[in-house]
Structure 1
Amino acid sequence: MDAWVLWLIAAGIILVLEMFTLTFYMLWLCIGTLVAALVAWFAPDAYLFQVVAGCVVALILTVFTKPLSRKFRAAKGFEDTGTELVGRQGVVVEPIEEGQYGIVKVGGDTWSATSAQTLAKDELVRVLKRSSTIIEVERWEEFI
């Protein structure tokens, strides 16, 4: 199998992973692997050059888009959809063991959740913070 095909497969896998994380960091890696595939198309035996080209593109995109995304987030009117979760009430769908993951339903959405406490199914919880796809919760009674 040609190297450019392998690079395209890797790009597809990374793109799917990016869709799960929603962070844009893996998108830059995906674009880097696409550049490596393009290099592999024109120079199939230059494996080191393929890797270096992909890494350089991913690094440049990461470094130069970080300040741009920071400005975008600081812009007036920008609202991160996850910030409204903090403080909201939810219900445990799958039990959460201390330091392990479970599932919590907040509003109409289900989230992977972690807690410093053991929480049983159907317990009410409060969202403490949110990372990209995981929320941290605590038993609701402690806040009433």
Structure 2
Amino acid sequence: MFEWLFENGWALWLIVFLILAGIEILTLDLFFILMSVGALAALISYFLGAQLWLQVVVFCVVALAMILFVRPIALRHLHKGPNDQRTNIDRLIGHPAVVVQAVSTEGGLVKIGGDTWSARTRGQTTLPAGSNVEVIQIEGATAIVTPLPTASSQGSPATPAGL
């Protein structure tokens, strides 16, 4: 079998490429896909008539160059975006909520945009059920909330958006 692979080096490099691409699909780390580019370069060098040792050198050099030079640029572009663009739980900070079960420094429950979260307050105040609050921080799976100003202090009813 090894003799066949050495005679048909294109199959060896194609298998290496597919294995590395498959690992990248599982990890999504932009590491193995760049190594698979090295395997494609080695495949091309096979078709250009290079010896096996030279194909291995091409694979190593191209894969290393891709990891050292292309990966940092690709990661920078992937993480590029507006500074105020928040994702996941960070988007909940500043979001209004409604107290479902009285919230104190010990705990309670709030409804944030249709989801029920465990919650706590920072101060010594206890917020009764039905109170309108604002999420000021997320600690693990607990929302830290503070009361919203009442309708009399703003001149209009305080209604949480998205509920």
- Equivalent residues, number: 93
Distance, in Å, in 1 between the alignment partners of 2:45 and 2:84 is 39
- State whether residues 72 and 78 of structure 1, in contact with CA within 8 Å, keep that contact through their aligned partners in structure 2: no
Q: Find the counterpart in structure 2 of residue 29 from structure 1.
A: 35
RMSD of aligned C-alpha atoms? 3.5
Q: Deviations over 1:82-120 (max 9, x none)?
A: x7379xxxxxxxxxxxxxxxxxxxxxxxxxxxxxxxxxx
Q: What is the 5 A alignment of 1:1-144?
A: 1=4, 2-43=8-49, 46-73=51-78, 75-77=80-82, 84=88
Contact 1:28–1:61, Cα closer than 8 Å, also in 2: yes
SS in 1 for 2:73: helix
Amino-acid identity (%): 26
Spell out, residue by residue over 1:12-39, the C-alpha distance to the aligned partner (whole angstroms, 9 max, x if none): 1111111000011000111101111111
Q: Structure 1 unaligned runs (5+)?
A: 87-139
SS at match of 1:75: coil
Q: Could you list the runs of 5+ residues in structure 2 that have no partner in the other structure? A: 91-140, 144-163
Q: Is the 8 A contact 1:8 1:37 kept in 2?
A: yes
Q: Which has the higher relative contact order, 1 or 2, with Cα contacts under 8 A spaced 6 or more apart?
A: 1
TM-score using structure 2 length: 0.45
User: For residues 10 and 85 of structure 1, do their structure 2 counterparts lie closer, same or farther at Cα, with a shift above 3 Å needed?
Assistant: farther
Larger radius of gyration: 2
> Normalising to structure 1: TM-score of the pair?
0.50
